[in-house]
Amino acid sequence: MSHYPSHSYTGRFAPSPSGPLHFGSLIAALASYLDARAHHGRWLVRMEDVDTPRCIAGADVQILQTLEAHGLGWDGEVVYQSARSEAYRQLVSDMLDAGDAYYCTCTRKQIRALGGVYPGSCRGRQQSQAAASVRFAYHSPIAQFTDRIQGKQMIHSAHALEDFIVRRKDGLYAYNLAVVVDDIWQGVTHIVRGSDLFETTAAHLGLYQYWQQPAPVYAHIPVASTEAGYKLSKQNKAVGLDNTRAAQNLLQALKFLQLNPPDNLFAHNCDKILDWAVGQWCTDKLPKQAEIIVDKSESTYYNQS
């Protein structure tokens, strides 16, 4: 299934172009970049634009410019998931043919009435294809994995272990499918991403197992939150990064990642700062927690208005 030559380390940053990069996404980009470079690995950028209604025209270009402004240079071409539909279509069709996926017509309301966790009601039922989603028949969910930062982890949420959607009712392919298909195709060996995606790992591991592919090594870093449970996000009024303050943004992100830039680094440009950070990078310093609360009054993070 893999299209690229194998490397001992291939990492990636996989933003959704639904808005500009903000401080929270800079942390994910920077951590995955530093980890890749510290391992002398490749670092890819992939635009996760499968959820087209949420994408904003031009956000992809803006994201790439912001990465460049911060000295975060990637390897190879940027892959767009919107160009990968044929691969997803083929794999979902194979899953359906093999009886490992099925059509589901249950509504959100019906699932809520059943307790919120999808109980597999449509498994084995012949459904018409119109207005149906397609779910993976996740027979033996993987609820345990070892995270490089968080250690041995159990996923407790039953929702994360249900038969998950691989193709939505509106015909769009689901993030949980596309992310695994492309990580396999691009030969990604190491994933460094925010802890907000922690529980999705159960679904992802299920697909690696199903396709008999080696799972990547996962490292989930704490996300930046303005208060407990509120990560910086576009919905949560996080501001877009100011590219004219790129060096300061990097230094702030390095502090968040528990690297303590010395004072003399403050006079330097992004490339110098990144060189220093690659040499210092160590995931052991990161706290084993899902989030770190940042100061709301800090304008880099958060739009007060």
Query: Binding residues for ligand GLU, per CB under 6 A?
Result: 14-16, 48, 179, 193, 197
The partner in contact with residue 141, picked from Zn ion, ligand GLU, none with C-beta cut-offs of 5 to 8 angstroms by kind, is: none
Binding site for Zn ion (CB under 5 A): 104, 106, 121-122
259 binds, among Zn ion, ligand GLU, none (CB under 5 to 8 A by kind): none
How far apart are the C-alpha atoms of 177 and 191, rounded to whole Å?
16
Q: Which is nearer to ligand GLU, 167 or 193 (CB)?
A: 193
Contact in structure between 46 and 76 (CB atoms under 8 Å): no
**Smaller CB separation from Zn ion, 44 or 92:** 92
Least spacing, CB of residue 16 vs ligand GLU, in Å: 4
For Zn ion, give the closer residue by CB, 87 or 137: 137
CB of 165 vs Zn ion, minimal distance in Å: 10
Which does residue 15 bind out of ligand GLU, Zn ion, none, counting CB within 5 to 8 angstroms by kind? ligand GLU
Q: Which is nearer to ligand GLU, 55 or 179 (CB)?
A: 179
| Contact partner at residue 106 from Zn ion, ligand GLU, none, CB < 5 to 8 Å by partner kind | Zn ion
